[in-house]
Structure 1
Amino acid sequence: MEQKPNAIIATQYPSIQEMIIPGQGLKTPPVSPFFMDVTLRDGNQALRKPWNLEEKEIIFKRLLKLGVQGIEVGFASASKQDFEACSYLSSLAPENVAISSLSRAVEKEIDLSWEAIRKAPRPRIHIVYPISDFTIRNVLGISEKQVKENIIRSVSYARKLAGNYGEVQFSGEHFGDSLENMDFAVEAFQAALDAGADVVNLPNTVERYRPYLFVAMVRKVVESLPQGSKISVHTHNDLGMATATTVESFFAGATQLETALNGLGERAGNTNTYEVAIALHNCGVKVDLDLQTIYETSRIVSRMSGVPIPEKAPLIGDDVVAHRSGIHQDGVSKTKDMKKGAYRAFDANLIGRPEGDRIAFTSQSGKSAIYEILMQSGISVSKEEASKLQPILKSISENYGGGELSIEEIKTELEKVRSIGEFRS
């Protein structure tokens, strides 16, 4: 019997039964994610005005306060300033945080990386080299055999430098473009592991396709490499889907997640640390970060980077806790004291936000908005009064073009109608 197209498509995704434990909730991997932060390297190199050493130290200490498990402090061979920054920050590192410097697969650059970070209690040399068919042919202009040889040579060299003291990570640049040569990509990662790499990183260097395609590629690598191999992902946000890609990659077996504060990074940026952390937290994953530092950290990073936070930015945008539709406001009002809110994706207290659900009155708002706004401002009002005041405020808002009314305007109208006995029975 011929299979219907929809049935074929459906088999490409995990079923609900595969994602839920009956009576217990969502299935989660047995390990917590290892957050490898790239703000000081990928994020900093993309700024119009890269940070100086003093600024990098501030960001470094914010990362330690957040509790990330690894920090890429820079690209030591890129410049004298970057080398000095990597060296200085490495000297400040605690024992439990991996400290990395990026390097191309060039021995003199690997030497500089090691020299810069060897002071860290847990140093990591990070080597990056292209593995996609497109890049191999059009950028490197060499054979896959030569690519593999260069990976083995550079990783082996880094392994000898680091010895038993340091770690080595290999990133297959443009892994997300490796659809045409996935078998070779797996070979490349296996070769890196055989040469002494502790971690292999799968970057979506340029986001071109739907998240599940990349996730399926990650799963292919996870299933092909020896059990227990440490797999990492590093995704960019060119199409706005980096968070989804990274979160789902964790469920596909990637335990190290490379992210950046405020989503800073080349072009549209890297995966946003906060979004990934809270998405995983909401799914029942144990996230070993101090989530309450998120909101404050986001403000500091925005100010120091000169990159503003959009008002609609998930979690940290000014407007993401606001509710203006009457239907939404009614749901917010009725569930405000519950752990799960009708229109609340996250608890503001969880990320250290000073305000939770904020109800605002516009021409789209109902009586629940008036009641909640006044009560939260310390003004006692009955549900009946709020119901009678709603059409008056709605009319005023419509005269403003449907705009939002301030608490002062609402109070003024309340006083007016009360003074003329509008609410007397």
Structure 2
Amino acid sequence: MNPNSLSKYRPFPAVSLPDRTWPDKTITKAPIWCSVDLRDGNQALPQPMSIEEKIDFFELLVRIGFKQIEVGFPSAADTEFNFLRRLIDENRIPDDVTIQVLVQTREHLIRRSFEAIDGAKRAIVHIYNSTSPLQRRVTFGDATRESIKQVAIDGAKLVKELVPTIPRTEVVLQYSPESFSDTELDYSLEVCNAVIDVWQPTPENKMIINLPDTVQWTTPNVHADMIEWMSRNLDKRDSLVVSLHTHNDRGTGVAATELGLMAGADRVEGTLFGNGERTGNLDIVTVALNMNSHGIATGLDFSELTDIRQKYEKFTRLMVPERQPYAGELVFTAFSGSHQDAIKKGLDRREKETAEAPDTLWGVPYLTIDPQDIGRSYEAIIRINSQSGKGGVAYVLDREHGFDLPKSMHPLVGKRIYDLADEHGRELTVDEIRDAFFEFFVNVESHLNLVEYELIHKAGGQVHCKATISIDGETRMIEGDGNGPINSFVHALETAGLKNFKVTDYRSHAVQGGSDASAAAYVQLQHDDGRLLWGTGVDSSIEMAGLKALVTGWNLLH
């Protein structure tokens, strides 16, 4: 912002609440959830959804587990009205799902909304009018506080009057002082209490008071103060459901909602992935999964989040950002080397711990939840570019291709792969990583090539090796004895004057997936000059894999 423009702005006033209690509260249970995707989310689209798309979206929301779904603004357009009538007339609304319609406190719009909901088992009629001093002054031409309150009262009276006209439908009243976030608290309370007085809710038949953060003007803690103050002072609090509807103008919609729940709210309105007017509504996916990550059941099922995201993108023609919490394509991906190494260690350790104790609590560095719990896979957690660490390559080779590299081999392989990524100037695919690993470290035959070999097993575990080798294009026969295939082949090389190293380590394992070969062997050699390196051999025979690993190591040393 231009520094010269700062004089146009002022701090938002704080709430006088010295005995606030919400900072000491924790969220221990889920709120009532209401999806407003089909109204707020649809309203915010450059190309609004068709009726068929809205029906499909409604069915998705039902499958996720929403029990309250705002289905639109049926008095605003025929498309909205006809969509709702199809839901009702075609019996598409489950008995345990309550629909919600939004309507301004204007008589003809309220009457049209009642025509739209007639026949539904249960419906929330959500009336609202703007109450803030800015709206009173600008939008309503210096309207008085009393006149704005009377609009809310008249709307509540009309809803109450119309309820008997649709006897098949149970009607719940919801009132919102729109722009509550910028309205004087004493006046918000005055208007809400006036509506409560009209409706006369009871603990058995509650009404909803929705306190929308229509425009975020301040920090989430001030929003929480406002919610706690209202919750303390509203009439008939035991007969009310206090609801939140946060927007995201300051990028703090999730935080404002979470603090608002700590401050006493019972209900949350929002959308999948936060789609809504301007900077968007609350992202219900994030809030619900935040609760799940603390072991709190929410009643919402995001176990197949990728499928939900794809359907959402199809319906809305919007893309979920790559860094969107939980749902973004890259949120379970680590490029940083230190992150990769920590994730790999965490996953490996968890695999061992859960084998012994299946109920072991989740604990993997950098991953707040198990990606598998929301339908993601480990395959994309670590990806490789020139900024990655040694653990990342080892992770990919292990998880994607079945090669469990010895720990001391990680730096050697990692550096070569990252140098390659740097040369390409981009991320490497898992297949490119495998191909590079094979090219530089597996079955390498640059100088020494094992053409044929025969092992003759003798008494006492001794092995005699007869081998045909090619050394820089010259074919030679060599022989040696030892206590195993590797040892006897090393002796044969020594007999031929080709040994200037010693074997310092040997590992082998069956390859688990990703390769046609069934065995991998790793041989560490130390050159007479002190250099240490590993060679890898891959073959259907474990013996041959070990010999190929030795040959590879020899070639890499020379």
- Cα separation, 1, equivalents of 2:233 and 2:22: 22
Opposite residue 150 of structure 1, the aligned amino acid is V
Match of 1:121 in 2: 121
Match of 1:249 in 2: 260
Unpaired segments ≥5 residues, structure 1: 1-8, 20-26
- Cα separation, 2, equivalents of 1:104 and 1:268: 23
Opposite residue 78 of structure 1, the aligned amino acid is A
**2:215 corresponds to 1:191:** no
Match of 1:413 in 2: 436
Give the Å deviation of 1:53: 1.2
TM (normalized to structure 2)? 0.69
SS at match of 1:365: coil
- Cα separation, 2, equivalents of 1:366 and 1:170: 55
Q: Which has the higher helix share?
A: 1
- Cα separation, 2, equivalents of 1:294 and 1:89: 25
Opposite residue 249 of structure 2, the aligned amino acid is D
- Cα separation, 2, equivalents of 1:419 and 1:293: 41
Match of 1:349 in 2: 372
SS at match of 2:137: helix
| 1:273-292 equivalences in 2 (<5 Å) | 273-292=284-303
1:33-70 CA-to-partner distances (Å, cap 9, x unmatched) read 11111111111111111111111100000010011121
- Cα separation, 2, equivalents of 1:291 and 1:194: 40
1:348–1:356 contact (8 Å) kept in structure 2: no
Highest RCO, 1 vs 2 (Cα 8 Å, sep ≥ 6): 1
1:252-306 CA-to-partner distances (Å, cap 9, x unmatched) read 1111100112222111221112011112222443311122143311210112211
Of 534, 545, 549, 1:423 maps to: 534
Q: Which has the higher strand share?
A: 2
Of 270, 283, 288, 1:259 maps to: 270
**2:49 corresponds to 1:51:** yes
Of 174, 178, 184, 1:173 maps to: 178
- Cα separation, 2, equivalents of 1:285 and 1:144: 42
Match of 2:381 in 1: 358
The change in CA–CA distance for 1:355 and 1:332 in structure 2 (over 3 A counts) is: closer
- Cα separation, 2, equivalents of 1:235 and 1:32: 17
Opposite residue 98 of structure 1, the aligned amino acid is T
Give the Å deviation of 1:96: 1.6
Opposite residue 281 of structure 2, the aligned amino acid is N
| 1:4-43 equivalences in 2 (<5 Å) | 18-19=24-25, 27-29=26-28, 32-43=30-41
Unpaired segments ≥5 residues, structure 2: 1-15, 202-206, 351-360, 446-532, 536-552, 554-558
SS at match of 1:73: strand
| 1:264-413 equivalences in 2 (<5 Å) | 264-336=275-347, 337=350, 339-355=362-378, 358-380=381-403, 381-401=405-425, 403-413=426-436
Give the Å deviation of 1:207: 1.9
Give the Å deviation of 1:15: 8.8
| 1:69-108 equivalences in 2 (<5 Å) | 69-90=67-88, 91-108=91-108
1:66–1:293 contact (8 Å) kept in structure 2: no
Give the Å deviation of 1:342: 0.9
- 334-343 or 231-240, which deviates more: 334-343
Give the Å deviation of 1:354: 4.3
Match of 1:3 in 2: none
Give the Å deviation of 1:130: 0.8
Give the Å deviation of 1:147: 1.3
Match of 2:249 in 1: 238
Match of 1:24 in 2: none
Overall identity of the aligned pairs, in %: 29
Opposite residue 389 of structure 1, the aligned amino acid is V
The change in CA–CA distance for 1:208 and 1:320 in structure 2 (over 3 A counts) is: same
Question: How many equivalent residue pairs?
Answer: 404
1:233–1:246 contact (8 Å) kept in structure 2: yes
Give the Å deviation of 1:106: 0.9
Match of 2:506 in 1: none
Give the Å deviation of 1:104: 0.6
- 376-385 or 252-261, which deviates more: 376-385
SS at match of 1:28: coil
- Cα separation, 2, equivalents of 1:383 and 1:14: 52
TM (normalized to structure 1)? 0.89
Match of 1:155 in 2: 156
- Cα separation, 2, equivalents of 1:273 and 1:162: 31
Match of 1:207 in 2: 216
SS at match of 2:534: coil
1:34–1:255 contact (8 Å) kept in structure 2: yes
SS at match of 1:62: helix
Opposite residue 211 of structure 1, the aligned amino acid is P
SS at match of 1:377: helix
RMSD (Å) for aligned C-alpha atoms: 2.2
- Cα separation, 2, equivalents of 1:92 and 1:133: 42
Opposite residue 285 of structure 2, the aligned amino acid is Y
SS at match of 1:323: coil
